Amino acid sequence: MKNLIFLLLSVIILCNKTSFAQIKRFSINTNLANLAAKGPSLSLEYKFSKKWSIQAYASKGEINIGNNYSYKTAILDFKHKIDKQLYTSTYFRYIEKDVYRPYVFHPVISLDNGRDFQGKGISMGQTIGYEVFRNKIYNLDLFAGAGYGGFIKQSGDRNRIGFLDLRIGILTGFNF
């Protein structure tokens, strides 16, 4: 996480000499879709031209639908505006996953399917997004994307080679 913030600040310093008129360069956002995962999310975006920006994003959450699934993630997004409201981005993600499937005890049958898993992985992918609203102070974006990743460290009964990385979001925040 510290490395991601350092990388973002380095890019901002290097790109600071680029000039363009009347554009708010920074925006701080949160992903409202992450509220469903009962966790916080925060992103900092820096626009270094009218068409290009870089975004550092971090979140954590927990989803409990049959399994206990928790995660922490850090994402670096490179965004390119296609037109006034439509954009695409390439992203790189670091994720820590922890999946726990509870042990079920019954006097006659014991169920433990051995699918508990912990892993740390990296992935990359592509997103497409739409700026629903943007003014001098406030912004609202919708986005979706997909990618593929691999685990660099894992523990559990089964070794997993890779994973499909899906992203959706309602990104809202303030420009400054």
d(CA 148, CA 70) in angstroms, rounded, equals 19
For the chain, what are the domain ranges?
2-11+30-175
pLDDT over 80 at 34, yes or no:
yes
Residue 24 CA: distances (Å) to CA of 81, 128, 130, 167: 15, 22, 18, 26
pLDDT over 70 at 115, yes or no:
no
Over residues 117-129, mean pLDDT: 95
pLDDT digits (tens, 9 = 90+) for 65-107: 767 889 999 999 999 999 999 999 999 999 999 988 766 555 5
- Yes or no: say if 76 and 55 are a contact pair by the CB < 8 Å rule: yes
Indicate the range of 9-13, 80-84, 123-127 predicted with least confidence. 9-13
Which tokens go with 50? 């009218």
Dihedral through CA 31, CA 33, CA 37, CA 40, nearest 10? 20
pLDDT digits (tens, 9 = 90+) for 138-169: 999 999 999 999 999 998 767 778 899 999 99
d(CA 53, CA 79) in angstroms, rounded, equals 5
User: Which pLDDT score, from 0 to 100, does residue 19 have?
Assistant: 46
d(CA 18, CA 154) in angstroms, rounded, equals 42
Domain 2-11+30-175: CATH architecture, name and number where available: Beta Barrel (2.40)
pLDDT over 50 at 48, yes or no:
yes
User: Which pLDDT score, from 0 to 100, does residue 3 have?
Assistant: 62
pLDDT over 50 at 20, yes or no:
no
Which tokens go with 173? 């925040």
Q: What angle do CA 81, 87, 89 make, to 5 degrees?
A: 100
- Yes or no: say if 155 and 117 are a contact pair by the CB < 8 Å rule: yes
User: Which pLDDT score, from 0 to 100, does residue 2 have?
Assistant: 63
